Amino acid sequence: MHFVLVHGAYHGAWCWDELRTELSSGGHDSTAVDLPCDDPDAGAERYVDEILHAIPKQADAVVMVGHSLAGLIIPIAASRTRTAMAIYLCALLPVPGLSFDAQHADFVTGFEPSQPAIGHPDGSASWPEEGAIETFFHDCAPHVARDAAKRLRRQYWRVTQEVTPLRQWPPVPAAYILCTDDRMISRDYGTTAARRQLGVDPIELPGGHSPFLSRPRVLARALVRAAAR
């Protein structure tokens, strides 16, 4: 299987490194996409272009994995390339005909970090290190959490503000993985969105919002099992 890994807000392709090692040890190829989240003009179409350009030409039908914000993007990409399965990891999901902001989706968990995200006058947002660790990486090894928090970028929000280009859900099998101690995306949101928009019950894993860093082996096995279905 060839996994195409698409990161969420603030992150980069680097966040998948440990997971890619685990997938490779199991005999699976992968591609990690770097989205232009720090470009104020980049919306869904630009994100999709980056995904499609990153997929190796020799790859057969791929398993597309979208984390968090990337859940808004991978169904669009999956409708434009050969995709065996789309797996939504702690992800937000689009609704055709709406922007994500217009959904008014209640995905919050109620967790409040000591240092919340900072909104900037140019419309972007960024995270102080301590707040990022508490929110995204609280169950990671301390050195992993610190390194990841330092690597986060600014995030612009055109992708949530514009009406999604998704007109209808692609005819691609789907799975949704939620993490039971996620401080960013609530279990209620993940369960409801998976059933309503994908028609599946979610797969539950232990831990927080970033299992590719806290539990890469557990996540790799879950992805392979889901794709094998």
- Mean pLDDT across the stretch 208-224? 98
Instruction: Look at residue 83 and tell me if it is in a domain.
Output: yes
Q: Tens of pLDDT along 102-158?
A: 999 999 999 999 999 999 999 999 999 999 999 999 999 999 999 999 999 999 999
Range of the domain at 9: 2-108+158-228
* pLDDT the model gives residue 216: 98
Residue 116 forms part of a structural domain: no
Longest dimension (CA), the chain: 46
Inform me whether the pLDDT recorded for 59 exceeds 90: no
DSSP state of 64: E
15 in a domain, yes or no?
A: yes
Asked whether residue 127 is domain-assigned, the answer is no
7 in any annotated domain: yes
Tell me the Ramachandran region of residue 97: left when phi exceeds 0, alpha when psi lies from -120 to 50, beta otherwise: left
Q: Which SS3 state, helix, strand or coil, does residue 227 take? A: helix
Tell me the residue type at 84. Answer: A
Nearest to 68 by CA among 213, 217, 206, 182: 182
Evaluate whether residue 220 is within a structural domain: yes
Distance of CA 140 to the CA centre of its chain: 17
Total domains, the chain: 1
In a domain? residue 182: yes
The reply to whether 55 falls in a domain is: yes
Give 13's pLDDT tier (boundaries 50, 70, 90): very high
pLDDT tens per residue, range 157-177: 999 999 999 999 999 999 999
Q: In this predicted model, what pLDDT tens digit does every residue of 65-74 receive, in sequence order?
A: 999 999 999 9
pLDDT at res. 171:
95
> CATH number for the domain including 10?
3.40.50.1820
